[in-house]
Chains A and B, each alone.
Chain A
Amino acid sequence: MAFTVYAGSNVTVSVQVKNVGSKEGTFKLTGRITYYGSPNHGAYAGAFTKRAKDYCTASKESDWDYITVVLAPGQVQVLTMYKMNIACGNNQAFDDGQQFKITWRFENTETGQYDIREDFFTYRRR
């Protein structure tokens, strides 16, 4: 999935997750944002957050950038995360057309097993 954002945009994402195993487990969801394409390809650029708070101004709790959930076998749940105030509202923060990759990681905290999903978005200057 690809979408476009602007300086000051807010992004809400609904991530549907499932325990496809045969035992109840605790899982951790993170959404890491990295530059995609030159000049900073692969560099960390931020993260989706647990609460709908402005990254640029809010105090950041220890669980700021992840959600934990306990799922029974076969259980499906929709988890919501946020990226508020893209680029802290600074239109010049990134080049027009800069692409970013979101790496969603859903990890079993007990076994270390994880599933990865990658999405992309493009930054546009106004």
Chain B
Amino acid sequence: MTVTVENIGQAAGTFKLECTLGKFAPSDYAQGGPLYVGGPLQFYWGAGRTPNPGNLATYFLTPTGPGSRNITFELGPGQQTSLSFVSAPLAPITRYDGVKEYVLDAHWYLSVLVAEYELDWQLADLSCIKVVPAGVAQGRIVSTSYSVY
């Protein structure tokens, strides 16, 4: 996925772009406990953490390989740059109630790495990715043979 970012400010700055890819928890899932499990998109509401239905299940698109959660870059005023992100292998995620989620939420956010603005992140985009299996297993009964004795 390619993301184009523009510095619309009046000074040069360092920016950080990051994405989480997973699933927004449904609003009625406020009681905590792990909601999703399985595949590379494992996410747990952390033990001891306050359940937050607005949080994301998370997996990171990796611009520079596994383990890299984000990319930082310099932009002058009015300058744009395009950044390519590659996801880890995708799979549907399974909720603990057994329901599979095939549509994942991609949540992009951009930070300005200037001390007084460091926490002032901006939700740049929220989009969806549908996970379609590359292949499926399909069972068939070929024959039955009985022996009575």
**A residues lining the B interface (CB < 8 Å):** 1, 3-5, 9-27, 71, 73, 76, 104, 106-108, 110-111, 113-117, 119, 121
Contact = CB atoms under 8 A, between A and B. Distances in A.
B136 interface: yes
Given A15-B145, A104-B141, A111-B137, 15 more contacts: A12-B146, A13-B147, A19-B137, A20-B139, A21-B135, A21-B137, A23-B137, A25-B139, A104-B144, A108-B139, A113-B139, A114-B139, A117-B141, A119-B144, A121-B146
Interface of B: 133-149
Contact of B137 (A10, A25, A117): A25
A119 B143 CA distance: 10
B25 to A, nearest CB: 23
Interface secondary structure of A, over-half rule: strand
A111 B136 contact: yes
B135 to A, nearest CB: 4
B142 A119 contact: no
Nearest to A82: B147
A115 B139 contact: yes
Contact of B141 (A15, A73, A110, A113): A15
Nearest to B136: A21
Contacts of B149: 9-10, 12
B148 A11 contact: yes
Nearest to A6: B148
Nearest to A15: B144
21 contacts: A9-B148, A9-B149, A12-B149, A15-B143, A16-B145, A19-B137, A19-B139, A20-B140, A21-B138, A22-B136, A25-B136, A27-B139, A73-B135, A104-B144, A108-B137, A108-B138, A111-B137, A113-B137, A115-B139, A117-B141, A119-B144
Given A17-B140, A17-B141, A4 B148 contact: yes
Contacts of B146: 1, 3, 11-13, 119, 121
